[in-house]
């Protein structure tokens, strides 16, 4: 009997096994492939926590894998802090509320004071609560923009950032010593009744709104008409509240995607980076004559934007929006005299180098960090330790994440939605839309284009396959890609880069092109970031296509 089959039987024989999960296991009793996939490993606790398919098994998201991870987290918090506390939030996904209550009960029973949001809340509001309530840790139950079959468990530190690599290793060491089951699961209701779990109050929520409003650059001077979709997630209430408070923004919500629904019936892949996901918003935007269409992902930390001009629809990607917001913030701060003496902006290594041109224009220090917004948050923390958090003016990543203030340490789509609307209204007053603005920036700084290629490697051999691809690239050290000579290779795992070690390879190519190869930290995917620069749009498009084609051939098999 294989290890997977042994663990399958242990779960099946557990006398207190949840009835729904037991039925799922019984239904797969004769499916050896399914048993292997569910039990060949424990669901991996990576740098951000857990993420996986909802269901029965050690390699699935369920109340037992959540409880086991939380017992490990509780042990870590108690070892590190004399009076540990933890804030918890959850999104609209299936089982999110149950998993949040499970984690809350486990922590409370272990002696950790818990603060739980009483309703679904965006991820950035968890980051805010950790800092505002003085907690030593935080958990948000979400799988971000992944399909409905997934859920996840992200862990935060006392600084409001997702936990560091070192902290994640410590938490994992505690988790691995935990059994799959305990003799008696703690009661959420009992812990709530005795005060070990406290519900986060309206004061904390209002403090968050106030903090976001402090980031306002320029309240809309002309009416702006937008269509907004929360994609059946957590953004509906907070985004609309912030836009109401800045004023002059008329919001029409996509009705099919307004209310929370973990099945995401009209957007099977609820990622605002994808054109199909924005389709209902675009249709309504066209019918309403909207200036702008916005969509936030289920945990409301990313925002996508479409500009509708008659039959023409332009989706603005994360790099483009980040550069426009960066330029808008700098220009307005200088005009109003609010730019700090030594301003700092932060982006990730896979985010457009067009940001460097903007930073040079406005004399802003631009810092590059590893992929993951926690590394942007970490830089804010460094500035805070130096006594100058006001130096931070903006941070962004290509995957539609933005943040303009130090009040949280994660990307915030509520803040970003506000800034985008303020920027759109500013330029509307000048007779321009955001496409006009983007084109003017390209004409000024040159044309920068990017493409993200993702190759999925699921199952027991998936991680080994991805590791093999990176190892081969290190060994071969390619001298060219698609005819572009490799002028620089950076190995973030072995070279001295000043950044934490990470399994990432970057290739600086001739003519301003760039490639970054990395495994995803949250999904079984190999990601290839392709970027190019040219003096005209046709030339940059051709360069990106050439590079994307060769990468698909080389890595997609």
CATH code, 104 = 3.40.120.10
| Among 200, 234, 266, residue at a domain's last position | 200
438-451 per-position pLDDT tens digit: 999 999 999 999 99
Region 69-81 average pLDDT: 98
Whether the per-residue pLDDT at 557 is higher than 60: the answer is no
Query: What integer best gives the mean pLDDT of the chain?
Result: 95
Say yes or no: 55 and 156 in one domain.
Answer: yes
Say yes or no: 126 and 57 in one domain.
Answer: yes
Whether the per-residue pLDDT at 531 is higher than 80: the answer is yes
Say yes or no: 139 and 178 in one domain.
Answer: yes
Q: How many domains does the chain have?
A: 3
Say yes or no: 52 and 157 in one domain.
Answer: yes
| Among 179, 200, 221, residue at a domain's last position | 200
Q: pLDDT exceeding 90 applies to what percent of the chain?
A: 88
pLDDT bin (cut points 50, 70, 90) of residue 522 is low
- Catalytic pick from 85, 92, 127, 144? 144
Say yes or no: 17 and 159 in one domain.
Answer: no
133-180 per-position pLDDT tens digit: 999 999 999 999 999 999 999 999 999 999 988 999 999 999 999 999
Say yes or no: 471 and 530 in one domain.
Answer: yes
Length of the chain counted residue by residue: 557
Any domain includes 326: no
Any domain includes 472: yes
Which pLDDT score, from 0 to 100, does residue 34 have?
95
Range of the domain at 466: 447-555
Q: What is the CA radius of gyration of the chain?
A: 23
Say yes or no: 490 and 512 in one domain.
Answer: yes
In 3-state terms, the chain is what percent helix, strand and coil (to 5)? Answer: 40, 20, 35
Catalytic site residue 144? yes
Which pLDDT score, from 0 to 100, does residue 521 have?
66
237-248 per-position pLDDT tens digit: 999 999 999 999
Any domain includes 468: yes
SS (H, E, C) 200-256: CCHHHHHHHHHHHHCCCCCCCCCCEEEEEECCCCCCHHHHHHHHHHHCCEEEEECHH
Say yes or no: 28 and 45 in one domain.
Answer: no
DSSP string covering 64-100, please? Answer: HHHHHHHHHHHHHHHHH-SS-EEEEEE-SSTTHHHHH
Say yes or no: 95 and 170 in one domain.
Answer: yes
227-274 per-position pLDDT tens digit: 999 999 999 999 999 999 999 999 999 999 999 999 999 998 999 999
């Amino acid at each position: 009997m294989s290890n997977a089959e042994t663990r399958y039987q242990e779960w099946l024989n557990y006398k207190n096994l949840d009835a729904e999960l037991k039925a799922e296991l019984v239904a797969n009793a004769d499916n050896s492939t399914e048993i292997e996939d569910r039990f060949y490993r424990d669901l991996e606790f990576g740098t951000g926590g857990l993420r996986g398919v909802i269901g029965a098994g050690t390699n699935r998201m369920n109340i037992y894998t959540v409880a086991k991870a939380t017992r490990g987290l509780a042990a870590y918090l108690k070892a590190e802090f004399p009076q540990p506390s933890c804030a918890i939030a959850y999104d609209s996904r299936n089982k999110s509320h149950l998993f949040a209550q499970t984690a809350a009960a486990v922590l409370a029973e272990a002696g950790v004071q818990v603060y739980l949001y009483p309703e679904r809340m965006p991820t950035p509001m968890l980051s805010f609560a950790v800092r505002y309530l003085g907690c030593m840790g935080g958990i948000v139950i979400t799988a971000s923009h992944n399909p409905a079959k997934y859920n996840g468990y992200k862990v935060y530190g006392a600084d409001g950032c997702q936990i560091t690599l070192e902290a994640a290793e410590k938490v994992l060491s505690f988790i691995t010593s935990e059994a799959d089951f305990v003799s008696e699961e703690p009661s959420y209701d009992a812990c709530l009744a005795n005060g070990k779990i406290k519900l986060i109050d309206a004061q904390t929520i209002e403090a968050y709104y106030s903090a976001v409003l402090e980031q306002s650059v320029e309240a809309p001077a002309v009416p702006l008409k937008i269509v907004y979709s929360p994609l059946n997630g957590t953004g509906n209430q907070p985004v609309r509240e912030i836009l109401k408070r800045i004023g002059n923004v008329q919001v029409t919500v996509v009705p099919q995607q307004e209310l929370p629904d973990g099945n995401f019936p009209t957007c099977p892949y609820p990622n605002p980076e994808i054109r199909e996901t924005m389709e209902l918003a675009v249709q309504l935007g066209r019918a309403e004559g909207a200036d702008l269409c916005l969509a936030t992902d289920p945990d409301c930390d990313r925002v996508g934007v479409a500009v509708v001009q008659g039959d023409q629809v332009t989706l603005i990607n994360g790099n483009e929006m980040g550069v426009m917001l960066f330029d808008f913030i700098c220009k307005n701060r200088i005009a109003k005299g609010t730019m700090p003496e030594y301003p700092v902006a932060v982006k990730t290594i896979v985010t457009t180098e067009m940001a460097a041109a903007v930073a040079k224009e406005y004399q802003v220090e631009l810092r590059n960090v590893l992929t993951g917004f926690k590394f942007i948050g970490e830089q804010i923390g460094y500035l805070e330790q130096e006594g100058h958090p006001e130096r931070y003016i903006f941070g962004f990543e290509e995957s539609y994440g933005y943040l303009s203030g130090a009040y949280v340490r994660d990307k915030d789509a509520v803040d970003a939605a506000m800034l985008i609307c303020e920027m759109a209204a500013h330029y509307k007053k000048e007779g321009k839309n955001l496409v006009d603005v983007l084109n003017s920036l390209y004409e000024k700084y040159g044309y920068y284009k990017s493409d993200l290629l993702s190759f999925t490697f699921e199952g027991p051999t998936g991680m080994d396959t991805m590791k093999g691809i990176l190892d081969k690239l290190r060994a071969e050290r390619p001298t060219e890609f698609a005819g572009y000579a490799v002028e620089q290779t950076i190995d973030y795992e072995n070279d001295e880069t000043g950044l934490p070690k990470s399994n990432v390879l970057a290739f600086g190519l001739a003519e301003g092109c760039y490639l970054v190869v990395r495994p995803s930290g949250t999904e079984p995917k190999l990601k290839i970031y392709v970027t190019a620069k040219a003096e005209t749009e046709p030339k940059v498009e051709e360069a990106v296509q050439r590079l994307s084609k060769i990468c698909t051939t080389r890595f997609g098999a």
